[in-house]
Structure formats: C-alpha cells, structure tokens
Amino acid sequence: MNNELTQQWKNNLKILDVAFQPIINIHTGTLYGVEALLRNFQDVGFKSIFSLFDAVYKEKLLYSFDLALREKALKKYTQIQNYKNIKLFYNLDNRVLEMENFSTGNTTKILQELNIKKENICFEISERQEISSKFDLEKILQHYKKEDFSIAIDDFGVGYSGYKLFYDSAPDIIKIDRFFLQGLATNMKKKLMVRNITHLAIQMGIKVIAEGIETKEEYLTCKDIGCHLAQGYLIQKPTKNTQKIYQQYANIIDIIKLDRRISDKNILLKNNIDKIQPLKIKTKMNLVIEYFKKNKSVPIVPIVNSQNEPVGILLESDIKEFLYSPYGMSLLLNEQNNSKLKNLLHPCGHADINSSTTTLIELFANNPESSGIIITKNSGYYGFLSAKAIINMMHQENMIQARDQNPLTKLPGNTMIEKYIYKVSQSSASHLLCYFDLDNFKAFNDVYGFRNGDRIIQLFADILRKELPKDVFKAHIGGDDFFVAWENKDFTHSSFDTKMIENILEKFASSAKEFYSKKDKENGYIVSKNRKEQTCRFSLLTASASLLITPEKKSFISEEHINTILSCQKKVAKNEPKHLAVSSLL
C-alpha cells in the first residue's frame, strides 16, 4: 500500500494509547460493547484528537495512519475479558475515502490475523463532521455495510445529515447526542424529541444508544423511553486498563432493581410472546424453504446474526412469490444466491423483555402497519410479539388502568400514588407533594345525601384538572382525600409561591356553597351529628392542604416518613386561616 507512514508518525503511534468506555444493555446493566477512544495525544504535541487527525489528513496519510490505529485498538480489545462476545465501537474519520491509497479488505485482513469476527466490529461515523460532496456520509455508510460491518451514527441529531440517513440508508445503530440527554428528565421538549427519535429508529430496526448519561434520572428516563443501550460517566469513565472493563455494572444493576420496584412486572408481555424459532442470516435458501414447509402456520420468521442479535424479519409471502414460479424457485436455489437471505429482509422494531408495556404499545401505535416487535433478552433474540398480541395487550392494559382508577373521579388511585411517592423517595430532584382533605364533608353527606356528596367529590377533581398544569400528578386517595405532586424546579422554601394551591382552596369553597340551601348559605353552617352522635353546627365545606417540599440530592427518605408528615400536617392545616400548612425536609 502506498503512502507509508513517516517515521515521526510511527513514533507517535507508539506513544498513543487506546482507552475503552463500556456500552451496556440499559435494562440489565450487562456489557454490550466498548468504544475505543484515543489517548496520549497531548504527549505527541496536539491539543485535541481532532487537531491530530487534521494534521495527518493534511499530510495525506490519514488512511495509513487510521489502519495502523485500528490494528492497535483491535489488539488491545482482545485483552478485554470475554471480548469475543462484545462489540468494539471504532470512530471512523469521514475523510478516509478521500485518500488516494484507500482500498478495500484491509480491515478484514487484520481481523483474520487476530481471529476476530466482523460481527464484533461497529464503525462509528460522526454526524458533526461535514465532508466533501464527493464522499458524503451515505457513501461511507454504504461502503462499510457492503463489507458486512455494523455502522453507528454518532452524535445523532446535531449534525448535517440527520433524518436523511434514516431514509436513504438506515444505519445499524444511532447514538443520541449528549445535548438531548442533559436535563432530559425535566425538559419536556427534549423528552419529546428523544422519544420521537428513539421510536422512529426502533420501528426501522435500528438500535439506540443513549450516549453521555451522567445521572440516574437521565438513565431511567432513557430506559423508560425505550433506548436499548447506554454509555456515559454514570456507568464508567473511559479507562486504559482493560482489566477494569466489567461484564456487569453493579451500580447500574442497583438502579435498575430499585426502578423495577415501581414498575409493572410486565406479565402481559411475557404471556403474549410467541417463541418462533429464528433463522440465521447466512442460512441457505433451500433450508429457508424447508423451514416454511415444516412450519406452515408461521407467516413471519425473525432473522438473527451469528451473535443471536435480530437483524430483521422474513415474510412467508415474499418466499411464496418465488415458490409458485419455476423460474423463481431456480433463482432462490441458485448457489450464488444462497447467502443472500439479507436481500429479502424487512426491518422490524425490537425491544428488551424488560421494556414497559406502555413503551411497546406506543411503538406499535406509531406504526400500525407493523407486523409486530421482536423481543430481546440481553440484546439477543428471545421471541416475537405479533400485531395481534400487541392489540390484545392494549386491551388488557386499558382494563388494568381502569381498575386502578377511582371509579368516581377517574383519577389514578392508591397504587399509582404509592409508585409516585416511592419514585420521589429515590429521586435526587426536589418535589412538591400536596395532600388535600375536604373539611366537614361527613356532615354535608349526612344532611344532603350521598349523591350530592359524590358531586362534591367530582367538583374537587374537576378543579384539580382545570387549575393544575398537565404535568402535575393528580390522584384520588379515596373518599374526600386527594393527592397531587410535581417536580420543584426552583427549590427554595422562601421563594415558593403557594398561590396555585390557595387558588384551588378558594375556588372549591366558593363553588361548594352552591350545593347548599339558601337558608344554610345565609346561616353559614348546617346542623348534624358528629362521630360521637352529638348534635353540632358544622361550617360550610372548605378544603385543607398539607404541602411538603422535598430537597434536592436528599439522602434516602422512606415512603412511610413522607406519608406520616403529610398526615400530621393535615391536622395543622385545618386550623390555619388559609387552610394551608407548608413544610420542607432538610
């Protein structure tokens, strides 16, 4: 190969080193792969990795240098425990195709020498770097895909090509840029964008890596949205020591276990999975035909690679077009076409078995023409969820939600309240929790009857819906007790404005008067018996609110502790002029 490296660059290569950062399964904390990152570039006189590659590009040695660097990274990758079962993500400079000495097959030779399978390698192409129109991103992507390498689009969403790559030539993986993940848990605009990107990618059979995760909240939000994989400082910083790349990450597993306590057990999913036997991507067509002959009731077959990762689905209808034509049959069985099963593949979304039912239903609802969703376990094929099964899950999910709703107000009930409070107890963000209780409700119910009592309950529920923003969690504990909560984005007790809560209390007191007779309204009270069967005067209906502010980055607070404070404070609120008591945990 021409353009041999100069002695200076050979010396530089000896000084340069490679660090690895783990990429894990977001649902299990299990190692999926590692990204190779260049280190010691300052020791050879460069301020950044970009300036180093710019220098070698200007000397027209980029491809020679990059090949030598690939070999260095690959050799070090083989030092990682169990490396044959994980992927290596290697950042590719988009300008390599511009080099005069660029030729095909060189990476394959290195892999053969090191006994590494192509399926283990994923080239990352950055969307940030703009390159010449002669060698655009699509051409680079197609070149390496033709060579049977996996391709990942790095920094997705902030570069030059964006969704055009989705349309023209779908990559195998996208890495959502850190910009979208920063503050994701509380930024509704970012959450919507990440959800849309993730769901579109999944529907096209593309894996999604949430890159640059630094907080537990970012991690759990990406997991809930449906991202397959995660990378970032929360998991582990890049390390040059291959012995410090672990097969599982205990800190992440702890986060997942806690989160599972507040999530559905997803029995619906497991009960609806069809364990269809998959076919390997390199299966010969005569064996594919035999498969369909033996499994006549199977219209769809998932296709996997040598590592049991799903790569798409094969439809029986596509094979039938060939089977009923003598020419088509000979074409299928032609020896040259025996390794071309991939030409008949259809993309299919895939999600982990630990994904929430809500996420799976959303994925299907956004693409109702889909045949279904492939279910994975630890990134490997597990089963298939057909369109019919998903529709069945939607029906069952609606029934479960209906059971948890309070039948009178249609607000979430105690199960959802418990989940929310537990989530607050685990969160590092500040929250506002408010417990509402209607004052003198029993007396009103006794005098005016339970039907009017129900109308009062519905009135308060309607006020909560109208007066509180959509992102506020609103729930009905039962009877005349209600609960609302939301994240506090300005955590200072002194600056917190209680007007929103006061407004709810005032509106209720004013509206509730209309349920009394003219005489009772003029008197300002009603006469009824108390719990001791003593006749007493009871003031007209009002509501009291017990409001608790939880701090940021708090130590563990038990659910019982939160409930105790809210309950005790409720008694204080009833005696306050504004019927409102506010406190803050330290």
3-state secondary structure of 445: helix
- Contacts of 231 by beta carbon, 8 Å cutoff, 6+ apart: 21, 22, 23, 24, 35, 175, 209, 210, 211, 212, 213
- CA distances from residue 349 to 203, 384, 559 in whole angstroms, order as listed: 4, 10, 38
Please determine, for residue 495, whether its predicted confidence score (pLDDT) is greater than 50.
no
Task: State phi, psi for 196 to the nearest 5 degrees.
Answer: -65, -45
Q: How far apart, in Å, do the first and last CA atoms of the chain sit?
A: 68
Task: State phi, psi for 23 to the nearest 5 degrees.
Answer: -120, 120
pLDDT digits (tens, 9 = 90+) for 292-345: 888 888 889 999 998 899 999 999 888 776 666 665 666 566 655 444 677 788
Give the mean pLDDT of the chain.
86
pLDDT of residue 490: 56
Rounded CA separation 302/314 (Å): 6
Q: What's 269-397's CATH class? A: alpha beta
pLDDT digits (tens, 9 = 90+) for 27-38: 999 999 999 999
For residue 102, give both structure tokens: 């660029």
* Three-class HEC string of 69-96: HHHHHHHHHCCCCCHHHCEEEEEECHHH
Determine contact, residues 28/378, Cβ cutoff 8 Å.
yes
Mean pLDDT, range 257-261, rounded to an integer: 66
In the block, tokens 């009871």 appear at: 538
3-state secondary structure of 21: strand
| Assigned architecture for domain 8-263 | Alpha-Beta Barrel (3.20)
3-state secondary structure of 312: strand
Mean pLDDT, range 66-85, rounded to an integer: 96
Rounded CA separation 470/455 (Å): 23
The torsion region of residue 302 among left (phi > 0), alpha (psi -120 to 50) and beta comes to: beta
Determine contact, residues 389/318, Cβ cutoff 8 Å.
no
Rounded CA separation 383/353 (Å): 9
- CA distances from residue 253 to 28, 175, 209, 266, 482 in whole angstroms, order as listed: 6, 22, 18, 18, 35
Fill in the amino acid letter for 117.
Answer: K
Please determine, for residue 22, whether its predicted confidence score (pLDDT) is greater than 80.
yes
Domain boundaries, the chain: 8-263, 269-397, 405-584
Rounded CA separation 561/541 (Å): 29
**How many residues belong to the chain?**
586
Over pLDDT 90: what percentage of the chain? 48
Fill in the amino acid letter for 200.
Answer: L
Fill in the amino acid letter for 21.
Answer: Q
pLDDT digits (tens, 9 = 90+) for 125-176: 875 555 444 456 677 777 888 888 899 988 886 655 566 666 666 789 999 9
What is residue 314's DSSP assignment? E
For residue 47, give both structure tokens: 């301020």
What is residue 310's DSSP assignment? E
- In this prediction the pTM is 0.73
- CATH code reported for the domain at 405-584: 3.30.70.270
For residue 479, give both structure tokens: 């009877």
For residue 31, give both structure tokens: 């190692």
pLDDT of residue 337: 47
What is the band of 489 on the pLDDT scale with cuts at 50, 70, 90? low
Rounded CA separation 212/21 (Å): 11
